[in-house]
């Protein structure tokens, strides 16, 4: 009996545990699509006058609102928990959509983060309030922007401009709260890994197919 118990613990239990975790919602399968073909940005510019496109980029998008400096801690959390790990992937960009008139505040945030971060993949983009409202509305999100046109959440948009997130028994998870480092470090980081895994797997598959041809 003792021998059977030992064998079970050493061999069977790890397999059962692996199958359990692998069958999870985001066990490196595919992150659900919540909204297809989201809109591209308008003729909106960043601090250096360049335009940002979403197509062919994995984009983390956020909405700062007019209270940008007061939520700079949220940007710090996002920077530390997600950006620092993944910003070296050339197809990844972190885009914050800001109301026009907040350029100086955005520059201060960029300067503060730039003291210890390579800011190459950070983008602060500026648009008129009505344009921000319109863009946010077309995403079809349940949660609304606050009265300052901001949100503490960020969202994942894939290379085909599809909004990605989680679908679970307790409801759909559309975004990730930057106010809570634990949520970024656990849920968002896991989901971002799934997105990257999808593209790596697709690239590997296409590469192998090309070799066969």
Question: Residue 50: is it exposed, middle or buried by C-beta count within 10 angstroms (0-12/13-18/19+)?
Answer: exposed
- Residues 76-87: tens digit of each pLDDT: 999 999 999 998
Output the CA–CA distances (angstroms, integers) from residue 27 to 21, 30, 31, 46, 65, in the order listed.
7, 8, 9, 36, 34
Q: 3-class SS at 153?
A: strand
Rounded Cα distance, 110 and 80, in Å: 14
Helix (H) or strand (E) holding 20: helix 13-22
- Residues 70-120: tens digit of each pLDDT: 999 999 999 999 999 998 888 999 999 999 999 999 999 999 999 999 999
* CATH among 3.30.390.10, 3.40.30.10, 3.30.1120.80, 3.40.50.11540 for 32-207: 3.40.30.10
Q: pTM of the prediction?
A: 0.82
Rounded Cα distance, 117 and 136, in Å: 28
Domain boundaries, the chain: 32-207
| Start-end of H helices in 24-180 | 72-78, 84-86, 103-114, 129-138
């Amino acid at each position: 009996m003792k021998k059977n118990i030992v064998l079970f613990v050493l061999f069977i239990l790890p397999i059962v545990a692996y199958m359990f975790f692998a069958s999870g919602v985001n066990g490196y399968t595919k992150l659900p699509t919540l909204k297809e073909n989201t809109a591209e940005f308008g003729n909106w510019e960043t601090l250096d006058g360049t335009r940002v496109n979403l197509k062919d980029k994995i984009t983390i998008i956020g909405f700062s609102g007019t209270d940008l400096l007061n939520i700079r801690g949220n940007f710090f959390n996002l920077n530390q928990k997600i950006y620092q790990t993944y910003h070296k992937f050339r197809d990844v960009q972190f885009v914050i959509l800001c109301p026009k008139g907040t350029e100086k505040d955005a520059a201060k945030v960029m300067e503060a983060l730039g003291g210890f971060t390579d800011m190459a993949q950070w983008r602060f983009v500026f648009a008129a309030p009505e344009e921000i409202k319109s863009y946010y509305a077309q995403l079809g999100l349940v949660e609304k922007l606050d009265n300052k046109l901001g949100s503490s959440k960020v969202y994942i948009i894939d290379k085909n401009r599809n909004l990605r997130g989680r679908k679970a028994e307790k409801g759909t998870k559309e975004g990730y709260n930057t106010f809570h480092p634990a949520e970024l470090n656990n849920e968002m980081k896991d989901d971002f890994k799934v997105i990257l895994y999808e593209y790596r797997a697709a690239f590997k598959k296409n590469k192998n197919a090309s070799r066969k041809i």
